[in-house]
């Protein structure tokens, strides 16, 4: 029989054990396959968290929409049933409409411009962090998702080839407005439904990341890609605020530091991928066209005014102006 004093000492030691010493099990969901850049950045962050926590924080990556499409993961994070995600800005705009600022057409000139907006100074991050928190999320970081184009059943050599065609877009009012301005018929469809939508004739085209096009093997259902680069996608590395608030300060800092490692990995990964992705697509028998972007850019200028006329857009205009001012 254990001595009462020893039992009391054990219980006191247990009660005083810091929360950070307990093993934390967290889930991270992305709708991309494991070799795609967003999933790779998430895995780099997970690896760093495992190292810094000495295995006390265990994050399981669920890729390829195993936990649902992006909209479903966004909703699950709000409820605390999914802890983390690297999720496109577009699905988040349904609850954080200010994020549509980052999906405005031709906002970013190139990757260097994207990196300046994300990494030089804290203007963009400091604006969005409170927007996330008051909606039930924590923005841990920002990931570059790559440039987006248009792919589908027909070649696009000019805007005239796109007019009147049905196109899949992300669920974002600004992106829908962008393709309406181009004379197309946009429909918001979750990414996992894109192949079936092509096969059933629901869409003629889809807009999306050229890297995603390759990694998800969309070249099996779409043999034409138009390199219009209407968006350089930014993805917030997001955590459920309910999950965040359950962590002690030390564990929170480990997550922040882990995401920084994921960001660093991402910046180089995207640049390296960009050098080879188009050739990899061509090797799959895909025709890549490079229409003059000027008419596309001119046709979509009114989308900015449309956004700024909304309450969220009026408030987020300062972010757009800041990004445009970067040289």
Task: Work out the number of other CB atoms within 10 angstroms of the CB of residue 300.
Answer: 21
Matching residue, tokens 């939508």 = 197
CA 269 – CA 271 distance, rounded (Å):
6
pLDDT tens digits for range 81-99: 999 999 999 899 999 999 9
Look at residue 233 and tell me if it is in a domain: yes
Residues 6+ apart with CB under 8 A from 86: 28, 30, 38, 39, 41, 42, 143, 235, 236, 237, 238, 262
Which structural domain range is residue 109 located in?
22-322
Q: What is the CATH number of the domain that holds 213?
A: 3.40.190.170
Q: Which residues pair with 62 in a beta bridge?
A: 29
Look at residue 4 and tell me if it is in a domain: no
Q: Phi/psi at 267 (nearest 5 deg)? A: -60, -45
Residues 6+ apart with CB under 8 A from 26: 57, 58, 59, 60, 83, 84, 243
CA 285 – CA 289 distance, rounded (Å):
13
CA atoms within 13 A on the CB side of 175: 32
Instruction: Write out residues in the chain with pLDDT < 70, as ranges.
Output: 1-21
Look at residue 79 and tell me if it is in a domain: yes
Task: Work out the number of other CB atoms within 10 angstroms of the CB of residue 181.
Answer: 18
Look at residue 3 and tell me if it is in a domain: no
Look at residue 61 and tell me if it is in a domain: yes
CA 58 – CA 50 distance, rounded (Å):
6
- Ordered DSSP codes for 27-75: EEE-SS-TTSHHHHHHHHHHHHHHHHHTTSEEEEEE-TTTT--HHHHHH
The whole-number pLDDT of residue 1 equals 43
The whole-number pLDDT of residue 11 equals 37
Look at residue 10 and tell me if it is in a domain: no
The whole-number pLDDT of residue 171 equals 87
CA 250 – CA 316 distance, rounded (Å):
32
CA 84 – CA 162 distance, rounded (Å):
37
Alpha helices in 31-184 (DSSP H): 37-53, 70-79, 89-92, 111-119, 123-133, 173-181
Look at residue 16 and tell me if it is in a domain: no
Look at residue 308 and tell me if it is in a domain: yes
How many domains does the structure of the chain reveal?
A: 1
CA 301 – CA 170 distance, rounded (Å):
19
pTM of the model: 0.90
The whole-number pLDDT of residue 2 equals 38
- Ordered DSSP codes for 4-23: HHHHHHHHHHHHHS-GGGSP
* The two structure tokens encoding residue 305: 């005014």
CA 143 – CA 36 distance, rounded (Å):
13
Alpha helices in 217-310 (DSSP H): 241-245, 249-274, 277-282, 293-299, 302-308
The whole-number pLDDT of residue 305 equals 97
CA 158 – CA 144 distance, rounded (Å):
27
């Amino acid at each position: 029989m254990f001595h009462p004093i020893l039992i009391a000492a054990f219980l006191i030691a247990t009660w005083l054990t810091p929360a950070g010493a307990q093993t934390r099990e967290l889930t991270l969901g992305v709708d991309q396959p494991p070799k795609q850049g967003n999933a790779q950045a998430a895995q780099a962050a997970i690896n760093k968290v495992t190292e810094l926590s000495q295995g006390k924080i265990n994050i399981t990556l669920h890729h390829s929409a195993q936990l649902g499409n992006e909209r479903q993961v966004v909703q699950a994070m709000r409820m605390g049933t999914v802890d983390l995600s690297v999720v496109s800005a577009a699905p988040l705009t349904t609850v954080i409409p200010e994020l549509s600022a980052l999906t405005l057409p031709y906002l970013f000139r190139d990757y260097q411009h994207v990196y300046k907006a994300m990494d030089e100074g804290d203007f963009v991050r400091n604006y969005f962090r409170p927007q996330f928190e008051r909606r039930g999320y924590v923005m841990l970081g920002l990931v570059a998702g790559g440039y987006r184009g248009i792919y589908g059943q027909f070649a696009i050599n000019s805007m005239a080839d796109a007019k009147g065609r049905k196109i899949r877009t992300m669920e974002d009012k600004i992106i829908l407005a962008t393709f309406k301005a181009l004379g197309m018929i946009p429909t918001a469809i979750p990414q996992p439904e894109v192949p079936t939508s092509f096969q059933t004739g629901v869409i003629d085209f889809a807009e999306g990341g050229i890297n995603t096009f390759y990694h998800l093997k969309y070249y099996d259902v779409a043999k034409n890609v138009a390199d219009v680069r209407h968006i350089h996608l930014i993805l917030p590395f997001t955590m459920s605020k309910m999950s965040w608030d359950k962590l002690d300060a030390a564990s929170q800092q480990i997550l922040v530091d882990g995401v920084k490692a994921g960001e660093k990995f991402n910046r180089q990964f995207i640049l390296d991928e960009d050098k080879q992705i188009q050739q990899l697509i061509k090797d799959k028998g895909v025709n890549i066209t490079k229409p003059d972007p000027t008419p596309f850019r001119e046709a979509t200028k009114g989308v900015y005014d449309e956004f700024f006329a909304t309450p969220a857009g009026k408030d987020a205009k300062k972010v757009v102006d800041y990004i445009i001012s970067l040289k």
